Amino acid sequence: MPNDHGKDPWSGKNKPDGPPDLDKVLKDLFVKLHRVFGQTKSNNPYTPPTKKPVSSKRGGFLALLIILAILILWFIAGFFIVDPASQAVILRLGKYSKTLNAGLHWIPKGIDTKYIVNTQRITP
């Protein structure tokens, strides 16, 4: 067996005398996690790292995408289908607005409310 003179064969550094210091291992882990999640390293290991400043272009673009996604979902949610045997009564802000026949229709959700009524069914 070759004489390794107390050196680690992979790193070439001196072998530690005991197990690694748990406090140092946890600090290194937290510093690496903060780097991965977009935070910079602090010189003082006892202070938490600060977040990198977000550029206004990137933040504005992200806000625009979120608003656009919400508008698209609101638009899609307004579509509904009325069966051939039914009619839809539309209320705008709680007051009667119109009556719709069978087919595909769209209303602005939150402003209009629909009530679908089966007009062909006889109730005793």
Partners of residue 81 on adjacent β-strands: 104
30: tokens are 């937290």
CA distance 100 to 119: 12
Q: Give me the residue spans of the domains in the chain.
A: 56-118
The overall average pLDDT reported for the chain is 79
Largest CA distance in the chain: 101
Burial class (CB in 10 A: 0-12, 13-18, 19+), 93: exposed
- State pLDDT tens for residues 76-92: 999 999 999 999 999 99
User: Model pTM?
Assistant: 0.48
Is residue 43's pLDDT more than 70? no
In angstroms, what CA-CA distances link 5 with 11, 12, 38, 109? Answer: 13, 10, 41, 77
User: What value does the mean pLDDT take over residues 62-72?
Assistant: 92
CA distance 64 to 59: 9
94: tokens are 């709680």
